Chain A
Amino acid sequence: MTPVTAHRARPARASRRRFSVTSPPWLFAAPALVVYAVVVLYPAVSGVVYAFTDWSGIGEDMSFVGLAQFRTLLGDEQALGSIVNTLLLTVAIVVVQNAVGLLLALGVHVRLRSRALLRVVFFAPVVVSPVMVAFLWKYLYNPDPSSGLNGLLGVRVDWLGDPSVALWSIAGMVIWQNAGYSMVIFLAGLEGVPPELHEAAKIDGAGTWQRFRFVTWPLLAPALTINLMLSTIGGLKLFDQVFAATNGGPGYATETLSTVLYKQAFVFGKFGYSTAIALVLALFVAAVSLVQVYYLRSREVTA
């Protein structure tokens, strides 16, 4: 069958006539732009300057060192190693969190009797502060075989202590916390699928899977774009949970770019170097997001 287009859902009156209407005026965007420029753009641009200095983070002493900080980064094994961890963590989070989020959204979108309650339950982890989630999960990740998750599942895993497991334990914790987040955005997308489309598809004889594949899925594209981008950026910048759960350990097994740049700025007193890492991280995330948004937008149904 052919995909049902959004066309049918449009109000009859509007779709019959075609008018070219002017774009909204610039004034609509002006206030937001001013606040954004003051709070985000201007500080970021002036902050970038530190990447070319040797400033410690406090005091008056500062000299310009050109690109020296970036050269240091190229030879910094620890910082480079953290990139691998950051990528692994991001991939795991993006894939699993969105898959779980989508399934939950589809599940609670159906008119179940308990759906209001279920939505609250799945969303509940989102409202707990990330640092606290890490505190809490340290109780669940107790390596003792008789307590926490080990006791519950009947396994013996050294969740946060085994260097080859710790990264995935953090991913699990983050996914638990953020699946509800993805769910909410998918739900907003699902609420936006007009019921008439499903009715029409049913009349055309489409089954559940076909209706999902050809009606729901294409119209979920904006939600999917948003979810994929937000979870990718969130994964690449992930800090709070890693910091509170392992602080990069055991050894350097869970060190991410964000924890490295944090430590350089606030523990080691190398603010200049930390800014250089932050700049590289920003460029990297920006590149990934641009590719993503370009690719995803191209497959969205344009209304």
Chain B
Amino acid sequence: MKRTFLLEIVMIAVAVAFLFPVYALVSLSLKDPAQISQSPLALPDPPTFANFAEAWTAAALGPSLVNSTVITVVSLVALIALGSFASYFLARVRTRLGYGLYVLFLLGIVLPFQLGMIPLYQLVNDLGLIGTHAGMILFYTGIQLPFTVFLYTGFIRALPREYAAAAQIDGASHLVAFTRVVFPLLRPITGTVLILNAVFIWNDFFTPLVYLGGSGYETVPVSVFAFVGQYVSQHGLVFAGLVLGAVPIVLVFLALQRYVIKGFASGLKG
């Protein structure tokens, strides 16, 4: 008991140190330009919520949040569905070809995005998907699949084959064995896949700028960064927009943590 208490103290101290930059972020978002210039890191005195109000209206954050949410949620569903099935195959198949396919997927993590950037843009344009949610969803699903497959495959390999085998002996097909038995056991890594992909898609700035810029379907980062100029920047407003934009992701993470912990315990018993 005493050691747990000591550990708790230590961890809280580390957390405070970790939080300092976050404090700076929030504190900057609560200041007007003169306050930022005079004392960027002091406590906001008095705090102003004008940045938040302005970020909401001037940056049209409401519609942007909807766009970001649609794109992120649909991409995540596609990634988890396509990724987990493919990984189950890749982790279990014993042929050389199967291993080659796995390496082929890994190649996707390695490639610099600049390599295929222009042909991909051209392709999405030919498909008529520039300036649409569908175009972005297709992009994220493809671009994050290697990462998703990498995470899933690693964990499925560590999972005893016997779980699925037992189900199949009881007469279940591969499909049933995977969806009913294996997939629930993957909850901890599914949670990780979900949150890490969500963070990437939610924060990605460059691709939505290229694909959605000027379409009226801009995502949160695109709307917020419109206020960062070379000569004139509205940093308070930008920071406020980012704080608002980060809230949904933090909430998702919080919810997911509980789900993942509970999920695993019940998965083992089931």
Contacts and interface: CB of A to CB of B under 8 A. Distances in A.
Is A–B contact present in the complex under a CB 8 A cutoff?
yes
Interface of A: 6, 9-11, 13-15, 17, 19, 21-26, 28-29, 31-33, 35-36, 38-48, 50, 104, 107-108, 110-114, 116, 118-133, 135-137, 139-140, 142, 147-148, 151-152, 176, 181, 184-185, 187-188, 191-192, 194, 219, 221-223, 225-226, 229-230, 233, 237, 258, 261-262, 265, 271, 274-275, 278-279, 281-282, 285-286, 289-290, 293, 300-303
B56 interface: no
B168 interface: yes
Contacts of A148: 41
Contacts of A151: 41
Contact of A29 (B24, B90, B253): B90
B40 A116 contact: no
A39 B143 contact: yes
Interface of A is mostly: helix
25 contacts: A23-B95, A29-B86, A32-B145, A36-B105, A36-B146, A39-B142, A107-B7, A112-B8, A112-B11, A120-B254, A127-B202, A129-B242, A131-B205, A132-B25, A135-B228, A176-B18, A192-B155, A221-B158, A222-B154, A274-B114, A279-B115, A281-B112, A282-B115, A289-B110, A293-B106
B253 A33 contact: no
A11 to B, nearest CB: 7
A191 B260 contact: yes
Interface of B is mostly: helix
Contact of A40 (B111, B235, B242, B246): B111
Nearest to A266: B114
A38 B142 contact: yes
A139 B163 CA distance: 53
B154 A127 contact: no
A118 B11 contact: yes
Interface string B130-165: 000000001101110111011100110111111111
Nearest to A285: B110
Q: Which 3 A-B pairs have the closest CB atoms?
A: A39-B142, A43-B116, A14-B162
Contacts of B24: 136, 139-140
B109 interface: yes
